[in-house]
Structure 1
């Protein structure tokens, strides 16, 4: 009997069990890969639709905005919307305020959080777990609950409408979350490295600055990006503490521009797009470390 006359069922039964399982596993992986690609395409579409709408609207004249569909590209770009946003929206002043606040708040807050996390993860003292629990609970307190007493404190210190009056609360509210994240990352670094450094005469500060911080670059970079974005976009505290227009940050400037020029959709969208550039630059600078930090815990298992 030739091979061509053998029924397919007999051939399938003659195949080794391992080969059939391998084929099923490959097919299973292909289905998962296809599903992931579909999910990725859907996510890209969901996130890109508002961005495309903003870009198209920022380059249209008022007549084109109301006379053409939203997702029709502008055939004659209206670049004057960006000039008008810079001129009428006080973007440069608000951007400078947001940048100054972020450049001071983010590194100072990260340094204090890292030092606190190092003490909790590496040093041994009484009530250590209780203190860690209090810090973790502090990360759960909503900012809105403390705005009224915070306003009274800052007003009593005569720090309203100042950079330092906003930087201090930003640091305080950011410490619990950052300390909690860095504590878990520092605990994943082997303590044998500390013991080796101490045998060479290194103290706590030297271990912290020369060993722990360099090993924690991915986590620090991820927190830096997230903290910079959160500081740049923060609205509630800034609304309560920044009373004068000269001290406004980007979110307050956008709100002021929108309330003053309600129907100027072109300049408003141009204003919003330009306000995103600093955040995008920071992300591109630390992108590699951000990805490493995001998956560091998963890789360590």
Structure 2
């Protein structure tokens, strides 16, 4: 009995230790976000007060009002939303069609093309800035939101195709064969069977693509020159430069920039883990 009690206590201590480590790690990760949220509700006089106050007193929403109405911030927000939504929609459409082709059809050079596509996962994005700029200039896409969308879509295709191909390959082929017997062609099977069954993988790809296009800074900084066409990351960077000491204003702008990402994640999070593991392991 004593040995069993000792083993039980050791297991309890081990589990408690793991939970303690996880709680501490979560706290360390959340602390900067909490401080940013707290500071966004502080007036400038209390931003740098010591010791720092995580519960602002007095609290104010003037930072949010001024951030939204100043420096055409609403336009930058809308620009980012347009770019992120279009990028996500186009990327999911193209990558899902490519993934379906790689998962279900046999054709010459299939594996070579798929491996060539996956090379896009191994090349750092910063290495492509110069050739992308030259190509964008040749295509007339400089200083335009279309130039952002086109290259964001191209950059997201390898990962999305990789995730979706694995999930599509795991869908029983017998389901498609039954539809084919009823006269359904590849396009109908893709729309009415494959896509509805692939919601977890599509949700995962949606989260990754939206986040990447919403937060991207380097490429937008490279090709966008007109202030009215700038996206939110550029606006916040310039906003911080113009108001280098108004941290309440800067953090309020950053909090508003985080909201769409949180909304997208919460909308698709129940499918996220299932889609990620299926796309990475199966196929």
Fold match by TM threshold 0.5? yes
- Deviation sequence 1:132-179 (CA, Å, 0-9, x none): 111111221121112112112222333222121111111111111111
Shift of residue 26, structure 1, vs aligned partner: 6.3
The aligned residue for residue 41 of structure 1 is 23
Structure 1 unmatched ranges of 5 or more:
1-7, 13-19
What is the aligned partner in structure 2 of residue 130 from structure 1?
112
Aligned partners of 1:226 and 1:127: how far apart in 2? Answer: 29
Paired with 2:68 and 2:196, the residues of 1 have a C-alpha distance of 40
**Superposition pairs for residues 48-63 of structure 1, below 5 Å?**
48-63=30-45
The aligned residue for residue 243 of structure 2 is 261
Normalization by structure 2: what TM-score?
0.91
**Which consecutive aligned stretches of 4+ in structure 1 deviate over 3 angstroms post-superposition?**
23-33, 294-301
Equivalent position SS for 1:286:
helix
Aligned-residue offset at 1:288: 1.8
The 3 A distance-change label for structure 1 pair 202 and 28 is: farther
Partners of 1:294 and 1:54 in 2: CA distance: 30
Check 1:152–1:296 CA distance in 2 against 1; reply closer, same or farther (3 A cut): closer
Contact between 1:117 and 1:182, CA under 8 Å: does it hold in 2? yes
SS of residue matched to 2:48: helix
Tell me the CA shift for residue 106 of structure 1: 0.3
| Partner Cα distance (2:88, 2:54) in 1 | 40
Q: Describe the SS at the equivalent of 2:82.
A: helix
Offset of residue 29 of structure 1: 5.8
Measured after TM superposition, the shift of residue 88 of structure 1 is 2.5
Distance 1:156 1:294, change over 3 A: closer
The answer to whether the 8 Å contact 1:89/1:271 transfers is no
1-structure distance, mates of 2:190, 2:18:
40
Q: Does 1:170 align with 2:152?
A: yes
Among candidates 85, 88, 92, match of residue 74 of structure 2: 92
Given the alignment, which residue of 120, 136, 141 partners 2:102?
Answer: 120
- Find the partner of 1:179 among 145, 161, 183: 161
Question: Shift of residue 69 of structure 1?
Answer: 2.2
Q: TM-score normalised to the size of structure 1?
A: 0.86
Structure 2 spans left out of the alignment, 5+ residues: none
Partner of 1:149: 131
C-alpha distance in structure 2 between counterparts of 1:108 and 1:188, whole Å: 24
Work out the CA distance in 2 between the residues paired with 1:25 and 1:214: 48
**Alpha-carbon distance between aligned partners in 1 of 2:175 and 2:194, rounded to the nearest angstrom:** 9
**Map of 1:190 onto structure 2:** 172
Aligned residues: 283
Instruction: Answer yes or no: is the 8 Å Cα contact 1:139–1:176 preserved in 2.
Output: yes
SS in 2 for 1:126: coil
The corresponding residue for 1:107 is 89
Q: Match for residue 259 of structure 2?
A: 277
